Amino acid sequence: MMTKTWEQLTLMQPIAVKMLTNSILKERISHAYLLEGPKGTGKLETAMQMAKSIFCSELSGFEPCHACSNCRRIESGNHPNIYVLKPDGLSIKKQQIHALQEEFSKTGLESNKKVYIIEHADRMTINAANTLLKFLEEPSSKTTAMLLTENSHQMLNTILSRCQTLTFRPLSKELLIQQLQLQGISHAFAATAAQLTNNIEEAQNFCNDEWFAQARTLVIKLCEVLGKDTSSLFFVQEKWGKHFADKEQLQIGLDMLLLIYKDLLYVQLGENENVTFLDQQSLFESLSYSQKRIVSALSNILEAKNRLNANANVQLVFEQLVLRLQEG
C-alpha cells in the first residue's frame, strides 16, 4: 500500500477526513469508527493513517511523520499494538474475535494504546458479531476500533449504534484520473478506466492489464473499420470473438464501444472537452458518421448490453450488433 498523507486523503474523502483529523487535534478519538462506502474509496488507507496518527512519536498537529519507528512498523504491517482482521474464507468467525480479545487483554510492552481494524466487517457471522458487540460495549479508553464495510445495511444495528459512522463517497472521474496519472498511467488509459469504474483499485488493475490495452485497441479498430474500411471487418470480428470470450469481458468491450460512439458525437458537436479517447481525436474527425447513425449505434449497443444481461449467447449478441452497426 502506498503511503498517503492526510492532505492526499482529504482530496479523496474531504468530509470523513475532516471528522477524523478534528478528533485527533481535539484529542477526542472515538472508541469505534465505522468506515462505510464502495470498494476502492480509501477506507483502509484512512484507517491505517488514523493508526499512524494515534501511535506516531513525532506527530505534527494531526499529520504523522511516516519516519519514526511506529510509523514504519505500521507501514510494514508488523506493529505489535495494531491488529488487522480479515474474513477467514467467506466470513469472519467467532474464534477470530476471541483471538482479538485475547491479544488485547495482554498489557502492551510499549504502550497501552491499541487499534484494531476489521475489514469487511459485514461478513461477521452472527456469533462473531455478538462477541464483538460485548467488546464494543466495554470500551477501553486506550482502544480504537475501525470497522470497514461496503454493506453497512448487513450489520447489526446494535454494532452500528456504538460506532461513529463515516461515509466514503465514490471518487469523481477527475480525481480518479489524477490518482492514476500520479502512478505513471497515461492520461488516455486513465480516462478510459475512469469511465468504466469509480473504484481506484479496479481502475489500476485495468490500466496495468495487457488484456485491457488490447481491448481498447480492438474497440478503436472496430469503430474505424465500420466508418472507413469494411473489407477488414471480418478480421476484426474474429479478433473480438477471441478477445471478449465471456459475458463479463464483452460487457467491458460494449461499454468502451459506447464511449467511443459518444466521443464521435462530441467531436461533431465541437464538445472536445468531453472526449474520453483523447488520443483518437484525429481519427474521429476523419470518420464519416452522420449524427443519425451515431445515435442509432448507441441505441443498438445499449440493446446488446441488455440482451447480455438477459443471458443471450455472447457470440450471437456481438455478431448481430456488428450487422446493425454496419447497416447504420
User: Would you say residue 1 has pLDDT above 50?
Assistant: no
The candidate with the shortest Cα–Cα distance to 248, out of 303, 190, 311, is: 311
Residues of the chain with pLDDT > 90, as a percent, come to: 62
Span 285-313, pLDDT tens digits: 888 888 999 999 999 999 999 998 888 88
150 with 294, same domain: the answer is no
Helix (H) or strand (E) holding 101: helix 94-105
Span 40-80, pLDDT tens digits: 889 999 999 999 999 999 988 999 998 999 999 999 988 98
> How far does the chain reach from its first CA to its final CA, in angstroms?
48
Contacts of 208 (CB under 8 A, 6+ apart): 185
17 with 126, same domain: the answer is yes
pLDDT of residue 111: 67
46 with 159, same domain: the answer is yes
DSSP letter for 279, please: G
User: Would you say residue 174 has pLDDT above 60?
Assistant: yes
Task: Name the residue type at position 294.
Answer: I
Domain ends where: 115, 136, 167? 167
Span 101-115, pLDDT tens digits: 888 777 655 567 899
pLDDT of residue 118: 97
CB–CB of 167/37 below 8 Å? Answer: yes
CA distances from 193 to 172, 196, 271, 301 (A): 12, 5, 20, 19
> In 97-170, which ranges are E strands?
114-118, 143-149, 164-167
Question: What is the number of structural domains in the chain?
Answer: 2
293 within a domain of the structure (yes/no):
yes
140 with 256, same domain: the answer is no
Its sign, for the CA torsion 221, 312, 301, 288, is positive
The candidate with the shortest Cα–Cα distance to 29, out of 149, 161, 139, 157, is: 139
Span 118-139, pLDDT tens digits: 999 999 999 999 999 988 887 6
Domain ends where: 101, 133, 167? 167
For the residues 150-164, what does the mean pLDDT come to? 94
Residue listed under C-alpha cell 462473531: 128
161 with 279, same domain: the answer is no
DSSP characters over 225-254:
HHHT-GGGHHHHHHHHHHHS-SHHHHHHHH
Backbone angles phi, psi at 144, to 5 degrees: -120, 125
In this structure, what CATH number is given to the domain that contains residue 57? 3.40.50.300
Its sign, for the CA torsion 58, 70, 134, 127, is positive
Question: CA-to-CA distance for 103 and 247, rounded, in angstroms?
Answer: 46
218 with 140, same domain: the answer is no
DSSP letter for 122, please: G
26 within a domain of the structure (yes/no):
yes
pTM: 0.72
Domain range spanning residue 288? 209-327
> What is the pLDDT of the chain when averaged over all its residues?
90
Span 202-243, pLDDT tens digits: 899 999 999 999 999 999 999 888 887 667 778 778 888 889
72 with 15, same domain: the answer is yes
In this structure, what CATH number is given to the domain that contains residue 278? 1.20.272
154 within a domain of the structure (yes/no):
yes
Helix (H) or strand (E) holding 191: helix 187-196
134 with 222, same domain: the answer is no
Domain ends where: 167, 193, 219? 167
